[in-house]
Structure 1
Amino acid sequence: MCTRYISPEQREIEAFWRIDRRSNQRKDWEYLLTVFPLSVASFIRRAEDVEYARELVVGQWGMIPPWSKTHVPTTARGTRLSTVNARTEGMEKSPTYKGAWARGKRCIIPAASFDEPNWETGKNVWWRFRRADGAPWGLAGLWDTWTDKDTGEVWDSYTMLTLNADGHPLMGRMHKPDPKLPPDQQDKRSLIPLEAHDFDRWLTCTVEEARAMLKVPSVGLFEAGPVLGDTAVVEP
């Protein structure tokens, strides 16, 4: 599960994706390049008023469920809920994600790099993942809009989609293994990078076509290694 990544600067996103920014940023939002859960960052979605056009907006990383009383994602009982990543295998039935998926509210999350925890040394050593070709990542995600019933404030939020990566030569090495489970049943996870020729298709295609695009990336796509001096003993 990815819990931090680095966003390109706005001008870099606009240039690479050939897109104009649409301002939906409230004055109380602070835009950060190093993105953590509940941070505000950029994502790309289909423009509603122009066919096949992309728009660049900002939103909270962590999907806000429809029933949540605050922008901090919670369960119906009020318990804190992690929604920065969505398992594709269950999103069509998930109360949090199924509406966005069914309505085609797919997005692209630009990232210069993302980090994953590696426990092969017995402790968490963060690894950083960049594209081998030097381009930014365009990660597959979902987005939705939530309105605060008390204040009327409108929040856009998003989540990254993940796939099972057990057996993948690189992504299968990430995250803390469960000693009670065999190696082929660990449910290691991978984000889903999109290629440039699929950007518009991802934003505009049918649900069935989008489902067929959910694939674990080849190992040759990655440039990855430990982040020197960045370790932690507990996985977030």
Structure 2
Amino acid sequence: MCTRYISPEDLEIENFWKIDRKTNDRKDWENLLKVFPLSLASFIRRVDEVDFARELVVGQWGMIPPWSASHIPETKPKKGEEKGKRLSTVNARTEGMEKSPTYKDAWARGKRCIIPAASYDEPNWETGKNVWWRFKRADGAPWGLAGLWNTWTDLQTGEVWDSYTMLTMNADGHPLMGRMHKPEVDKVTKLPLPLEQQDKRSVIPLEAHDFDRWLTCTVEEARTMLKVPPFELFDAGPVAG
């Protein structure tokens, strides 16, 4: 799963995705560069169900479930509890998202988005400790990562929040993504599980010719676009310093 990335400069997003600042409804145009869970950052979505135009908006990285009492994602409170436990929603597993209480509404309603990223980081544990690797596109273009978005209303203040999540899928056996993340171990033997049982994860980059299709196509078509990226797409290596 991805828990940190760098957003491109605003002008680069505007130019690459052909978004006109003058007609866009984004609330602020600050440079939102280093992005971590619960940060506010830029994502691209379809303007509405009729208009195919793209708009750039700022939302929270970490989908806010509809039952949350605050913008901090949480599980559903148990009987007798006022609040649930902190929930990580920066990444959504594509396997089972149709049934997920947090993601199923956004997926079913086609609330798909594109997350611009100059690069993103993943942990590599091959040395026995975490070494962060940085992932850029080999062609120098920014990433357009597949995501979902939704809105949440604060019942106390009436404030409406946009939030989003990155989609991930299994990457076991991938020559690059299969090397990332801390190996899972058997709960009894404490030994690493076989590679085919590791459930290594990958974000899902979209190619430029698929941007509009991802934002506008049917749910069935969108499912066919969920693919692990080919090795040749990457320029990746340990983060300097």
Q: Which TM-score band (shorter chain)?
A: over 0.9
- Show CA shifts across 1:11-69 (max 9, x none): 1100000012434437xx97630000000000000011762110111100000000001
Specify which of 212, 224, 235 is matched with residue 224 of structure 2: 212
The answer to whether residue 117 in structure 2 is matched with residue 90 in structure 1 is no
Q: Which residue of 1 aligns with 2:54?
A: 54
Q: Is the 8 A contact 1:160 1:191 kept in 2?
A: yes
TM-score normalised over the length of structure 1: 0.93
Q: Percent identity?
A: 81
The answer to whether residue 15 in structure 2 is matched with residue 3 in structure 1 is no
Q: Is the 8 A contact 2:113 2:215 kept in 1?
A: yes
- Show CA shifts across 1:109-165 (max 9, x none): 000000000000000000000000000000000000000000000000000000100
Question: Partner letter of residue 190 of structure 1?
Answer: S
The answer to whether residue 118 in structure 2 is matched with residue 130 in structure 1 is no
Q: Is the 8 A contact 1:166 1:186 kept in 2?
A: yes
Alignment of 1:142-157 (within 5 A): 142-157=148-163
- Show CA shifts across 1:162-184 (max 9, x none): 01000000000000001322111
Q: Structure 1: how far apart are the matches of 2:48 and 2:60? A: 20
Q: Is the 8 A contact 1:20 1:56 kept in 2?
A: no
- Show CA shifts across 1:71-109 (max 9, x none): 000001210000000000011000000000000000000
Q: Structure 2: how far apart are the matches of 1:25 and 1:83? A: 23
Alignment of 1:61-140 (within 5 A): 61-77=61-77, 78-140=84-146
The answer to whether residue 238 in structure 2 is matched with residue 226 in structure 1 is yes
Question: Partner letter of residue 80 of structure 1?
Answer: R
Q: Is the 8 A contact 1:31 1:40 kept in 2?
A: no
Q: Structure 1: how far apart are the matches of 2:168 and 2:223? A: 12
Q: Structure 1: how far apart are the matches of 2:162 and 2:132? A: 29
Q: Is the 8 A contact 2:97 2:107 kept in 1?
A: yes
Does the residue aligned with 1:228 lie in a helix, a strand or coil? coil
Q: Is the 8 A contact 1:43 1:107 kept in 2?
A: yes
Specify which of 177, 183, 204 is matched with residue 192 of structure 1: 204
Q: Which residue of 1 aligns with 2:27?
A: 25
Q: Structure 2: how far apart are the matches of 1:75 and 1:173? A: 31
Specify which of 136, 161, 169 is matched with residue 167 of structure 2: 161
Does the residue aligned with 1:146 lie in a helix, a strand or coil? strand
Q: Structure 1: how far apart are the matches of 2:161 and 2:106? A: 14
Q: Structure 1: how far apart are the matches of 2:31 and 2:102? A: 25
Q: Is the 8 A contact 1:162 1:192 kept in 2?
A: yes
What root-mean-square deviation, in Å, do the aligned CA atoms of Structure 1 and Structure 2 show? 1.4
Any unmatched runs of 5+ in structure 1? 230-236
Which structure has the larger Rg over C-alpha atoms? 2
